[in-house]
Structure 1
C-alpha cells in the first residue's frame, strides 16, 4: 500500500514533466501561418520624341533607368505604403486650391528585374518582383502600420529563387499579387 502511494505520484510527475504544452515558438508559428507571396510591379520611362530619340543611345539608357527607378518606387509603395500630405482651400463653397504631395522613403532588397520592354510609342517598361517571406508578413501583422518600416525589414530570400523565373512574354503590365 505504501509503495502505491510513492510510485503513483512519481509516475504522474514523470509523465507531466515529459509532456509538452503544445505551444510553438512565435516565429515558427508565424512562418507556418503565412505563405510567401510575390509582389510584381511595373515602372515606366520615356524619351521626349519617340521618332528621333530612339536612335540616341544616351536617351534610351536614361529612359530605361527612369523606368527602373519608377519600378523600385512602385515596389516600395506596395510593400511599405505611401505617406500623403494634402491641403485644400475652399472659399464661398467653391474649391480654390487643392494640392498634395506623396512621400516614399524605404529600403528594398531582394527585388529582381523580370523584364524590360521597349514599346513602339517610346515607352520603356520595367517589370520587377519581390518575394515577401512569411517572417516579413508575420512581422507586419504584429506591428502598427506606422512602425512597419522601422521594425520589419525585408529579409533576403532563404531558398534558391531562380527556379520558375517568369518569361517576359507572359508578363502582364498591371500590379498584382501572386
Structure 2
C-alpha cells in the first residue's frame, strides 16, 4: 500500500510539471531583417477607350486605371499570383482550355514616382520600400521574439 501511494505521489508531481516549482520571466525582442528591398511596378492604361466626354476626362480615367494596374503588379510581387487552369477533353481530343489568374493583398506605403503619357496610353510607376512596410507592420502588430527566459 505504501509503495502504491509513493508511485501515485510521484506521478502526480511529474504531471504537475515545473510550473509549480519555478516561476519565470520572459524578455521579448524584435527580430529585424538584414536588408530591405525596394519593389518597383509600372501600370499602363489606354486613354482612348476610357469613359468620358472630353480628352481630359479620358486622360484622368486612364491615369487612375494605370495606378490601379501598378498596385496590382506590386501585389503580385509581394503576395504572388494564384493561377487556375482547366482543360476539357472529349474523345481523346482537347476541347476548351480555361486559364484564370487572381491577385489578392493589401499594399501599404507605396508611392507614385512618375506618371506620364506613352503614345495613347498612360503609365504610372510605383515604388514600395520594404523598410517602410516593415515599420508599418511593427507599429500595428508588435510581433515578439523570445529574447531571454529567466527562471527563479
Q: Which residue in 1 is equivalent to 2:4?
A: none
Runs of at least 5 residues in structure 1 that lack an aligned partner in the other structure: 1-24, 137-152, 158-178
Give secondary structure in 1 for the equivalent of 2:137: coil
Q: 1:65 to 1:156 in 2, by over 3 A?
A: farther
Structure 1 residue 76, shift from structure 2 partner: 0.5
Alignment deviations for residues 65-102 of structure 1 (CA, whole Å, 9 cap, x no partner): 11000000111111011222221112233321111222
Q: Which residue in 2 is equivalent to 1:130?
A: 128
Structure with greater helix share of residues: 1
Q: Which residue in 1 is equivalent to 2:41?
A: 41
Task: Give TM-score scaled by structure 2 length.
Answer: 0.61
Contact 1:85 1:101 survives alignment (8 Å):
yes
Runs of at least 5 residues in structure 2 that lack an aligned partner in the other structure: 1-27, 140-152
- The higher radius of gyration belongs to 2
Q: Which residue in 1 is equivalent to 2:82?
A: 83
Query: Number of aligned pairs?
Result: 110
RMSD: 3.0
Q: 1:102 to 1:26 in 2, by over 3 A?
A: farther
Structure with greater strand share of residues: 2
Q: 1:41 to 1:72 in 2, by over 3 A?
A: same
